[in-house]
Structure 1
Amino acid sequence: MEEVVLRLNQKNHGAFYLMQNGEQVGEMVIGVNDKNLTVYHTEIMPQAEGHGLAVKLLEAMVAYAREHHLMVIPLCAYVHAQFKKHPETYADIWQKQTNE
């Protein structure tokens, strides 16, 4: 059973951690400031790749952003690709940069 846990430090930097049977199998590194949530990197451990686990981190991050009324800056290649692939799904939270 997977569980996503968010841990932020005093500066609102941290990550969503994907736990499976008490073991960390993935993480999405983020930072929160003002009204933005910046996603820097998403990684699934090699032994857990190919099982659709990254989407669980994406879903948790999106839910958090919506709940806290944050706009997402997807610097992470995975998140940016998902936002571009499904723009209608993320239009309400996607803080597009000028070159997108």
Structure 2
Amino acid sequence: MSEEIKHKESDRRGMFYMEDDKGITSELTYSILDNGIMLIDHTETRQELEGKGLATRLVKKSVEFAREKNLKIDPLCPFAEVQFDQNKDYADVRADS
């Protein structure tokens, strides 16, 4: 399994993901709204790879991306929301609720 986090973006939607020879192992999808909010709407990890921290790494990468692009994040996805609640150092990019 590759540890490399890949990114693809088109228009105002994007995806961070990792893959292996069987395809995508873990993914995080988002939309960028007109008000500069990055809405994380979905995270998923292939069932046999759950619990290995893959989605956690993708959330961290999305935070780094938001900081680079001067965006705020609305973690709509329940997994991402828990990550934001557990990592107070993400507070600087969390959108006001």
Structure 2: how far apart are the matches of 1:22 and 1:91? Answer: 35
Structure 2: distance between partners of 1:37 and 1:9: 14
Deviations 1:6-40 (A, max 9, x none): 11222x11311122357310111100133110000
Contact 1:30 1:38 in 2 (8 A): yes
- CA distance in 2: counterparts of 1:63 and 1:20, whole angstroms: 23
Does 2:38 align with 1:3?
no
Superposed, 1:1-100 pairs within 5 Å as 1-10=2-11, 12-20=12-20, 23-34=23-34, 35-86=36-87, 88-97=88-97
- Which structure 1 segments of 5+ residues have no match? none
* RMSD of aligned Cα (Å): 1.6
What code does the residue aligned with 2:81 have?
H
Deviation at 1:2, TM superposition (A): 1.1
Q: Which runs of 5+ in 2 are unaligned?
A: none
Aligned residues: 95
Tell me if the contact between 1:2 and 1:21 (Cα under 8 Å) persists in the aligned partners: no
User: Structure 1 residues 33-42 or 68-77, which shifts more?
Assistant: 33-42
Q: Which stretches of structure 1, 4 residues or more, deviate above 4 A after TM superposition?
A: none
Identity across matched positions, percent: 31
SS at 2:24 equivalent = strand
TM, length-normalised to structure 1: 0.84
Give the distance between the partners of 2:20 and 2:64, measured in 1 at CA. 20
Give, as a single letter, the amino acid of the residue that structure 2 aligns with 1:48: L
CA contact under 8 A between 1:4 and 1:16: conserved in structure 2? Answer: yes
